[in-house]
Amino acid sequence: MSEVTGTPEAALQCHSKPAEELLPLVYQELRRLAAAKMAQEMPGQTLQPTALVHEAWLRLGGDSQPTWQNRAHFLGAAAEAMRRILIDKARSKARLKRGSGEPPEELLESRIEMPAPVDEILAVNEALDRLAAEDATAAQVVKLRYFVGMSVPEVAEALGLAARTVDRHWSFARAWLKQAIESERRN
């Protein structure tokens, strides 16, 4: 295999770049984002950032990657893939909590553990779809901040927005989601 050079931004904009050359360029950034998310969690979490990145890569297309318009397009898709992985895991855990009749499983180190309570992740996911209908940018900020663990400056760079604008969207989205989740729980 030829030596891979260049930046993730350049690789993502190259239409002919094969997946085996693209992955090494974006892998470290995805791994860093996943590790940063896990660093914010309580000690003792067993979520493997590597497993989350690999599963997201496969969901993004694996070896047959689509053509990415730019870095923001790729990171948005990666955030959505990570979000869906965490939601699928939360739903699976919720089924087990309700007594699905399945025998207990041994927890393997390679399995993805949830960084937040299952109920919280599911509630945020359901409310996030409604938020996207009202404010798509705020919903994208939530995906990148909550599900990927990016900082405000990282989200601003990824979305091509000013950090203050991201802060405003983040503040609005948190308040909106809190109200929507509390309203749903009362009903």
Tens digits of residue pLDDT in 109-164: 444 444 566 777 888 888 898 999 999 999 999 989 888 888 899 999 999 999 99
Q: Please report which residue ranges of the chain form alpha helices under DSSP H.
A: 8-13, 19-39, 49-60, 71-97, 118-134, 136-142, 152-159, 163-186
Domain ranges across the chain: 8-186
| pLDDT one-digit tens code per residue, 133-148 | 999 999 999 989 888 8
The secondary structure of residue 116, as a DSSP letter, is S
- Which burial class, exposed, middle or buried, applies to 122 when counting CB atoms under 10 A from its CB (0-12, 13-18, 19+)? middle
- pLDDT tens for 72-123 read 888 888 888 877 887 787 777 776 665 555 565 555 544 444 456 677 788 8
Taking alpha carbons only, the member of 27, 18, 19 closest to residue 52 is: 27
Whole-angstrom Cα distance, residue 30 to residue 41?
18
Whether the per-residue pLDDT at 36 is higher than 70: the answer is: no
